Every structure is written in C-alpha cells, then in structure tokens.
C-alpha cells in the first residue's frame, strides 16, 4: 500500500530525454512525429541549445557549413553565412523548439542527479534537482562536449587573476589591455586567439601540440541565394546534398587511405606560410603527425594573429602556476592577468555516466571502466530501455554530427515501435554478445584509420589509447546500420509474476536476475 502511494507520488512518462541541445531537441521532435507526446526533456540550464548555448566565447562558430549542420526536417533557407556563428546556431535551436512545439515538454533547471533502473517495475527512477519522476525509457542526449575539462595544474589556486574555460566565458570581464594566457590549441582556442588578440595587451599561447589549420572558405550567403532557397526549397536540399557528398567521399581517405592525406598537408602548410614569415615561429607551429589524426581546424585568421607583435607562442604545455606566473613544461615563464582554458571537455569520461545506474546496480561509468561501448552507438549491456544520442563511436572527423544524430533518432523511433509491438510492461536490453560483436567490428575497422595510425594523441582516444569516439565509416553506412532495431540483438524483459512474499522487500540482485527473460 505504502509502495503504491509512493508510486503515485511520482509523475510517470513514457520517455525522459536528458538535454536540450541538437540531440535532445531532435529526439523530442522525433518522438512527437512518432505520435509519442508523453515525454519530458530534462534540461539543467534555463535555456535550450546545449553546447551552442554554453559556448559563447568571442569568435565561436561552427566549422561545418550551416546548410549541412542543421536538421534535415528543419531546413533554414536564411543562413547568413556559409559557416554560421554561435548566436545564429543557438537562435536556430530556439526556433526549432518553438516551431515543433517542444517547449511544453521541457523542464528547465532540472539537472539529472541520478537515473536508476528499477528491475521490479521495469522503469527508470529519475531524480532531478526539481523532483523525481519515472520513465519507461531514458534517452541521454547530454552530448560529449558538455562538461568542460580544466587540467589539474599545480598552483592554479594561487593565481590571483581571472580564470575561465572557453565554454564558461565571463562576458563581464574586460580583456582590454590585459596580459592574457590562452591554454590549448584546439578548435575553441584557435577561434578565441584571433578574436581577442587585438584588444588584449599581450597574449601568450601555451601550445602543447600544434594543430593542422586549413583555410576556411567562409563568406556571406548572398541575398539572391537566400531568395532562391526560399522560393525553391529544393535548392536548399541540393546545396546540402553537395556539401554532404563531398564529405562522404573525403572520409574514405580518413578511414582507409591516410597516406593520401599528404596532399592536404601541403595546403595547410601553405596556409601557415602565407601568414607566418618568421622561420622560428613556423617551426613551432608545424605539426609532426599526419593531418586528420586530430581534428583538422579551419581558420584564415589564426596564423595572422600569431604573427602579431603582442603574441607569444610557448611551444609547450602549461605545467605549473606560481602566483601570477605561468610555467610551461619547457621551463619558460609568463606573467599574466587572466587565464583562458581552451582545454576541451570530458568526452571519454562523460560525468552523466556516473549518474546512470543499471540493472545490476553498476553505473554506466563502472560498466565502461575498460572503455565506452554501445550497440550501434546507442544501447549498453545491463542498461535496459536506455539509449545514448552521440554515444560511443558515433563522432565524425569531417562531417556534420547532425547526420549521425538523425540516424540515432531513426533507431530510437524504431526502438519505441518495437516496445509498442511487444506490448505491456516490457524492456529491451542489448545482449552482451551483440554489443561485443558490434564493438569488435568497429574497432577492427578503426585499425587503419588516420585517428589510430596518424601518430598523435587526441581526445578521440580514451585513457587506454582506444578510439571509443569516432565512427570509422561513412554517414551512409551508419544510417543503414541504425535504420531498424534488430530485436535479435536484444533480450526482452518482462516483469516476473508477482510473488506475495517478495513484494514488500527491496529488490535484491537475486530477485533481479529472476526476471523473466524471453528469447527475442
């Protein structure tokens, strides 16, 4: 009786989606299109947009063209530039939330503290900062680039100036005339450097590994083009198709023939030589690994900014902070007023994984302690009715993640259909053998890719050096692999017949393993 009352205290939904970035909003639209309206989107912040809400640093923009970096079901004929800035992309996501009537489903300021699988009830108990609810299915769309990573630098707490991460920019802090250190040379840092170089007094860039930087073919999309896209929507589709096709061909070199990327290196080298005349600076900026091994960066302004007299490049990582002095691994020192960390995100150790507790009481983090793996990038063994959008090995080195997200949403839609067809209280849990088989095939293909053979260390690789982030194929291949849920890859779990004696006690591991498992 008490148990029943407790049940009724909590709202129950068919699906709880975590996050309202591209992945979460996309999942919400897709669920509605499947006729499912009994769902919530749990968002820890007070606005939608995910990484495009949080990253507001100066110069923030996407390096995938907007006509490709947008939902296929929500084309925007009015993209103002070939590569849009953060504000326009964030506006686009706000617009998607409105047009597809997602807002009533969103619970803002609701951070998921824990989601625990209840093996008796066959549902998830989701505790948020604004209360608890239960859900048949949980879709984690928190994204791999949501939790900033600041390296553990000895002495950082002794620094008296301003410190912030690229994804938590403090717009109230005035950089004008200040001595600023930028740590890192990834996609974020190389946009920040040219955006702030003119206003700061002195900029010191701590570069642990030089990136390959290609020219960026960025331009305004003309009024005539936009008019055409509005009048003839198929021209927007055609533009997207061309952008997609080029990248689909390029991926062959990344995944199968890294040796052919030498030609691309020549273009990147010329990009540097055009702007940097000082041979000593060129030497510092020249990478010693194959292009593509780390993410290829695009910029026409990064190298020119580094050649300015108020910029120093320290070709060494930040090792220590002593008061206001920053010390690099090579011993060089710089005194600064502010530190900007462009040091990336917790990608292979996503904090949300620590908050998802599966059927055996282990967290997803524990279950992934030897490396992240999920069936078709989505479902993990031991975690019934749980799916990750942008899960393990779904990242891309050279194309639009929105393509991968939409493939995963196809999989989600079919997953919901399969649950409906099975009927009643039911869960699907991926077979260990299916997850392992999928992962072995992915890792086998990974062996010859540039990410594994290019001679660099990158965030694509986890602590064991295994690439658990990138998809080693074309987006077409992934789309095919996720078109339908193969129910044979899952066990179908139904509630065990009620045993009066067992009813009052909390579920034990033995009770859980007694759950009736049907062969699919």
Instruction: Verify binding: residue 495, ligand NAP, rule CB under 6 A.
Output: no
Instruction: Verify binding: residue 58, ligand NAP, rule CB under 6 A.
Output: no
In the complex, the smallest distance separating the C-beta of residue 282 from ligand NAP, rounded to whole angstroms, is 18
Nearer to ligand NAP, 88 or 295 (CB): 295
Interface pick for ligand NAP out of 119, 187, 293, 338 (rule CB under 6 A): 187
Instruction: Verify binding: residue 185, ligand NAP, rule CB under 6 A.
Output: yes
Nearer to ligand NAP, 358 or 395 (CB): 395
Interface pick for ligand NAP out of 52, 79, 386, 459 (rule CB under 6 A): 459
Dihedral angle of Cα 435, 438, 444, 446, to the nearest 10 degrees: -100
Nearer to ligand NAP, 83 or 100 (CB): 83
**Which residues contact residue 258 at a Cβ distance below 8 angstroms, ignoring those fewer than 6 apart?**
290, 292, 448, 449, 450, 453, 454
**Which residues contact residue 437 at a Cβ distance below 8 angstroms, ignoring those fewer than 6 apart?**
none
Dihedral angle of Cα 15, 21, 26, 28, to the nearest 10 degrees: 30
Instruction: Verify binding: residue 189, ligand NAP, rule CB under 6 A.
Output: yes
Instruction: Verify binding: residue 151, ligand NAP, rule CB under 6 A.
Output: yes
In the complex, the smallest distance separating the C-beta of residue 367 from ligand NAP, rounded to whole angstroms, is 24
Instruction: Verify binding: residue 199, ligand NAP, rule CB under 6 A.
Output: no
Nearer to ligand NAP, 87 or 98 (CB): 87
Nearer to ligand NAP, 296 or 357 (CB): 296
Q: One symbol per residue from 203 to 232: x for binding ligand NAP (CB under 6 A), - otherwise; what is it?
A: ---x-xx-----------------------
Nearer to ligand NAP, 235 or 325 (CB): 325
**Which residues contact residue 9 at a Cβ distance below 8 angstroms, ignoring those fewer than 6 apart?**
132
Q: What is the DSSP letter of 375?
A: B
Give φ, ψ of 164 to 5 degrees: -155, 165
Q: Give the residues across from 202 on adjacent strands.
A: 179
Rounded to whole angstroms, how far apart are CA atoms 487 and 273? 55
What is the distance of C-alpha 307 from the center of its chain?
32
Q: Which stretch binds ligand NAP (CB under 6 A): 99-107, 241-249, 343-351, 505-513?
A: 343-351
Instruction: Verify binding: residue 68, ligand NAP, rule CB under 6 A.
Output: no
- Under rule CB under 6 A, how many of the chain's residues touch ligand NAP? 25
Instruction: Verify binding: residue 450, ligand NAP, rule CB under 6 A.
Output: no
Rounded to whole angstroms, how far apart are CA atoms 306 and 342? 16
Interface pick for ligand NAP out of 62, 311, 435, 461 (rule CB under 6 A): 62
Q: One symbol per residue from 128 to 147: x for binding ligand NAP (CB under 6 A), - otherwise; what is it?
A: -----------------x--
Instruction: Verify binding: residue 66, ligand NAP, rule CB under 6 A.
Output: no
Q: Report which of 21, 98, 8 is spatially closest to residue 53, judged by C-alpha positions.
A: 21
In the complex, the smallest distance separating the C-beta of residue 209 from ligand NAP, rounded to whole angstroms, is 3
Nearer to ligand NAP, 264 or 511 (CB): 264
In the complex, the smallest distance separating the C-beta of residue 38 from ligand NAP, rounded to whole angstroms, is 34
Widest distance between CA atoms in the chain: 82
Instruction: Verify binding: residue 317, ligand NAP, rule CB under 6 A.
Output: yes
Instruction: Verify binding: residue 86, ligand NAP, rule CB under 6 A.
Output: no
Q: Give the residues across from 144 on adjacent strands.
A: none
Instruction: Verify binding: residue 255, ligand NAP, rule CB under 6 A.
Output: no
Instruction: DSSP for 413-442, please give it.
Output: HHHHHHHHHH-SS-EEEE-HHHHHHHHHHH
Instruction: Verify binding: residue 52, ligand NAP, rule CB under 6 A.
Output: no
Instruction: Verify binding: residue 161, ligand NAP, rule CB under 6 A.
Output: no
Nearer to ligand NAP, 128 or 197 (CB): 197
Q: Report which of 335, 342, 341 is spatially closest to residue 312, judged by C-alpha positions.
A: 335
**Which residues contact residue 412 at a Cβ distance below 8 angstroms, ignoring those fewer than 6 apart?**
27, 30, 31, 139, 378, 387, 389
User: How far is CA 363 from each of CA 118, 319, 451, rounded to the nearest angstrom?
Assistant: 13, 33, 29
Instruction: Verify binding: residue 247, ligand NAP, rule CB under 6 A.
Output: no
**Which residues contact residue 206 at a Cβ distance below 8 angstroms, ignoring those fewer than 6 apart?**
181, 182, 183, 184, 314, 316, 317, 318, 326, 328
**Which residues would be at the binding site for ligand NAP (CB under 6 A)?**
61-63, 145, 151, 166, 183-189, 191, 206, 208-209, 295, 317-318, 342-345, 459
């Amino acid at each position: 009786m008490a148990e029943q009352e407790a049940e009724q205290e909590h709202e129950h939904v068919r699906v709880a989606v975590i996050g309202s970035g591209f992945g979460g909003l996309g999942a919400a639209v897709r669920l509605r299109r499947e006729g499912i309206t009994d769902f919530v989107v749990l968002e820890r912040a007070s606005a939608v947009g995910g990484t495009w809400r949080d990253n507001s640093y100066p110069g923030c923009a996407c390096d995938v063209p907007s006509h490709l970096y947008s939902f296929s079901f929500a084309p925007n004929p009015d993209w103002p530039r070939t590569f849009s800035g953060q504000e326009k992309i964030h506006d686009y996501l706000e617009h998607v939330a409105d047009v597809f009537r997602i807002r009533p489903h969103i619970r803002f300021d609701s951070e998921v503290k824990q989601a625990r699988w209840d093996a008796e009830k066959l549902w998830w108990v989701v505790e948020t900062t604004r209360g608890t609810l239960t859900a048949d299915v949980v879709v984690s769309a928190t994204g791999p680039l949501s939790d900033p990573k600041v390296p553990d630098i000895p002495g950082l707490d002794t620094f008296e100036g301003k410190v912030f991460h690229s994804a938590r920019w403090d717009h109230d802090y005035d950089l004008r005339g200040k001595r600023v250190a930028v740590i890192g040379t990834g996609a974020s840092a190389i946009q920040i450097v040219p955006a702030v170089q003119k206003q700061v007094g002195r900029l010191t860039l701590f570069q642990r590994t030089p990136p390959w930087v290609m020219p960026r073919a960025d331009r305004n999309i003309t009024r005539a083009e936009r008019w055409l896209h509005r009048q003839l929507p198929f021209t927007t589709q055609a533009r997207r198709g061309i952008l997609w096709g080029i990248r689909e061909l390029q991926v062959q070199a990344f995944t199968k023939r890294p040796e052919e990327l030498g030609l691309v290196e020549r273009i990147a080298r010329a990009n540097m030589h055009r702007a940097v005349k000082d041979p000593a600076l060129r030497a510092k900026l020249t990478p010693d690994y194959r292009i593509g091994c780390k993410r290829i960066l695009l910029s026409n302004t990064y190298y020119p900014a580094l050649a300015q007299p108020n910029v120093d490049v320290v070709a060494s990582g930040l090792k220590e902070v002593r008061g206001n002095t920053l010390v690099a691994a090579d011993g060089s020192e710089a005194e600064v007023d502010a530190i900007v960390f462009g040091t990336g995100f917790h990608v292979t150790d996503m904090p949300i994984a620590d908050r998802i507790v599966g059927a055996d009481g282990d967290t997803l983090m524990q279950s992934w302690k030897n490396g992240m793996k999920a069936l078709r990038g989505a479902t993990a063994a031991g975690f019934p009715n749980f799916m990750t959008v942008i899960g393990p090995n779904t990242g891309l080195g050279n194309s639009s993640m929105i393509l991968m997200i939409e493939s995963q949403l196809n999989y989600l839609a079919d997953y919901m259909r399969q649950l409906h067809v099975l009927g009643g209280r039911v869960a699907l849990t991926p077979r260990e053998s299916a997850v392992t088989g999928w992962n072995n095939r992915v890792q086998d293909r990974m062996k010859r890719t540039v990410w594994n053979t290019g001679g660099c260390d990158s965030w694509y690789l986890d602590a064991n050096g295994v690439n658990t982030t990138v998809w080693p194929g074309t987006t077409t291949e992934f789309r095919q692999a996720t078109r339908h849920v193969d129910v044979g890859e899952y066990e179908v779990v139904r509630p065990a017949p009620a045993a009066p004696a067992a009813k009052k006690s909390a579920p034990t591991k033995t009770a859980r393993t007694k759950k009736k498992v049907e062969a699919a």
